[in-house]
Structure 1
């Protein structure tokens, strides 16, 4: 059993229980793993859908603070694995010294990423189409989920995942991303000196519409001197890559990377 715990962080619109297969896999490998939800999330997707107002108005820093408090109660600094906005949160926790290492899978763009592909704009339109959505909770339609998450899947699997995991998400984080360039105090900003923190693995899915592969790649390239940051591209993967039927193809290399960081830390 490893003494390093693992903390999974989900992104917008997906309930934390979607990480359960990963928790089982990492548990079998000897890692005590947890996947607490965002502030306002209930224990199941169904219950969270019934109370969307509980997540309305929550911003990026609120989520970071929420997980910082959670980590304070853990027995050791965890390795944080985040998907989508959870990938941005994982980077901030790592840079802030709250994590031993981190994996950012198809992460939302940190401040400084210049790429803005059309698919990313289209995927964000359910929120950005109305300014009032900044302080609301937004629920994707099946069609919107199919474009933003399930475009690399069959329509049947996309609908099944929608029914199982999709929850309302706060609109504020997306507005905070769009304003990051002009905001000197943007919550999307991360300390880019990678010599001052533990290792980071950034993963980009080739077919991702919501956080396109070029966004993930540019994220990794922002770090300097770049000796403690690794980037990997996964062919054929869309934004649902951590909880669709191909999740093991993502989880297996992530687990091996985590084991490698754990072994290296033990030798130091």
Structure 2
């Protein structure tokens, strides 16, 4: 049984932001890793100083990057992804590369036709200029506040921006925005027929970047796949910063409980949790 958890970050956030999650999961008996996207450097500061390695990095390249990492392991991991990391998580499980997947406020897969205003506004720092497709773009504190930090205080949002944000490649946003008009879109996922491990989709009710209606539309795409488990959890009052802000443990504990319910708790973990 797999008890290794692979964490995948989303656009504009460095992989090291998963460290608190890794510490918690490791305390509960899991092993963890959080490798960055192709082009990410080891630290936030290094990536900010030299973001050119992320230029023109798209969804397919990111998917293949993680698939190559997994290929070298002895067993399929569990995967937890946030935002675009949640889209990548769905790609990995649809291709039977992971044992179970959690997609937290995931970027929409091909087939979702809902486009709330807040989602469009959150993407405008990139989508507003076609030249951004092949280069990286950084969010200002104000843009981060709207896209990620709308459900937390200005002070906490600014602190998260300062601690964890990095320039992000524009290509994934352009690919996702045009997915329904491209036959072989890299944002396409087999939601209907893939026989796979269990998948959890989640949404914060106040999310601007991936609004609740978008994640519900994703969940609906899976509705006719009765061969595989797909569940949806909702977090009241949380925005897109839900993996980073002061309430992150609420989400992490829910993910841990779901993994245990699917049979992926490390040996002795369930009993220890019940005793506590």
Same fold (TM over 0.5): yes
CA distance in 1, matches of 2:225, 2:242: 26
Instruction: State the match for 1:255 in structure 2.
Output: 256
CA distance in 1, matches of 2:73, 2:159: 34
Contact 1:135/1:171, CA 8 A, preserved across alignment: yes
Secondary structure at 2:81 match in 1: strand
Instruction: State the match for 1:24 in structure 2.
Output: 23
Normalised by the size of structure 2, how large is the TM-score? 0.93
1:195-233 CA-partner distances (Å, limit 9, x unpaired): 511110000110000000111111111014244110111
CA change 1:5–1:152 in 2 (3 A) is same
Instruction: State the match for 1:179 in structure 2.
Output: 178
Instruction: State the match for 1:234 in structure 2.
Output: 235
Instruction: State the match for 1:188 in structure 2.
Output: 187
1:12-63 CA-partner distances (Å, limit 9, x unpaired): 0000111011101110111101100000001111110001111010000000
Instruction: State the match for 2:42 in structure 1.
Output: 43
Identify the range of structure 1 (200-209 vs 72-81) with the bigger mean alpha-carbon deviation: 72-81
Secondary structure at 1:132 match in 2: helix
Q: How does 1:108-187 map to 2 (within 5 A)?
A: 108-187=107-186
Secondary structure at 1:196 match in 2: coil
* Segments of 4+ moved more than 2 angstroms: 224-227, 262-266
CA distance in 2, matches of 1:244, 1:265: 27
Structure 2 residue ranges without an equivalent (≥5)? 268-276
How many residues of Structure 1 are paired with residues of Structure 2 in the alignment? 265
Normalised by the size of structure 1, how large is the TM-score? 0.96
CA distance in 2, matches of 1:142, 1:264: 38
Structure 1 residue ranges without an equivalent (≥5)? none
Contact 2:3/2:265, CA 8 A, preserved across alignment: no
Q: How does 1:181-220 map to 2 (within 5 A)?
A: 181-193=180-192, 196-220=195-219
Q: CA RMSD in A?
A: 1.5
CA change 1:199–1:244 in 2 (3 A) is same
